[in-house]
């Protein structure tokens, strides 16, 4: 069985919801190290290397670091080590930076994690005019893609499509204040939309 070692960097426990989701819903994924940096560092850090005193290695790094200087330094380290880096909501040319964890596209470099987590994909079983079963082929690392299913079983496809975005937003762990300055949409809006589109595609595919 293939396995993939993931290294996580967070600040003050900022990645705990995603770590829990990866452990619960992932397969063949091993979180080798969790580096928890201070939750309230200075706005400007002249020497971010002081916060990275321990070496690390692995197949993939996932960052939940919010402080820009710390994140940029981590991105440089990952580039030097040739380890792919995922950092939702950040901006860096050397990292995979989807707006939300559930808007991550498929990329061969992301291995098992990229196969299992990112933009949602469902399979749906419809009997009569009701949804009787749903399975997740790929989902959000926070677990919302799986956890919303119980709220949709027994609804008609139309009812489920009308409610899934709202229900996914209730479960989403994204920062509601995180707005895209170009589209004006929040992370919660994006999370709801990608889940609604996933269900729509699954229903059309039968």
Give tens-digit pLDDT for 64-80.
999 999 999 999 999 99
Q: Return the residue matching tokens 């589109």.
A: 197
Q: Record the tokens describing residue 126, joined without a space.
A: 């419809």
Whole-model pTM: value is 0.93
pLDDT the model gives residue 185: 72
Q: Return the residue matching tokens 């139309």.
A: 158
pLDDT the model gives residue 183: 62
Q: In 38-113, where do the E strands start and end? A: 60-63, 85-86
Average pLDDT on 153-182 reads 86
pLDDT the model gives residue 173: 79
| Domains of the chain, start order | 4-97 (3.40.50.2300), 121-205 (no CATH)
């Amino acid at each position: 069985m293939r396995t993939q070692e993931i290294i996580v960097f967070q600040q003050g426990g900022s990645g705990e919801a995603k770590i829990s989701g990866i452990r619960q819903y992932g397969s063949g994924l091993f979180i080798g190290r969790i580096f928890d940096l201070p939750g309230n560092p200075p706005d400007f850090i002249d020497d971010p290397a002081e916060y990275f005193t321990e070496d690390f290695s692995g197949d993939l790094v996932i960052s939940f670091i919010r402080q820009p200087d710390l994140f940029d330094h981590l991105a440089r380290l990952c580039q030097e080590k040739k380890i792919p880096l995922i950092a939702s909501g950040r901006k860096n040319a050397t990292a995979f930076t989807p707006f939300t964890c559930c808007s991550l596209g498929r990329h061969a470099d992301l291995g098992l994690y990229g196969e299992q987590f990112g933009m949602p994909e469902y399979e749906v079983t419809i009997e009569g005019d009701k949804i009787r079963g749903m399975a997740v082929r790929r989902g959000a690392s926070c677990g919302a893609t799986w956890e919303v299913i119980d709220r949709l079983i027994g609804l008609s496809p139309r009812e489920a499509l009308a409610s899934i975005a709202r229900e996914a937003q209730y479960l989403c762990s994204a920062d509601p204040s995180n707005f895209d300055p170009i589209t004006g949409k929040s992370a919660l809006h994006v999370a709801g939309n990608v889940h609604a589109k996933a269900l729509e595609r699954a229903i059309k595919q039968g």
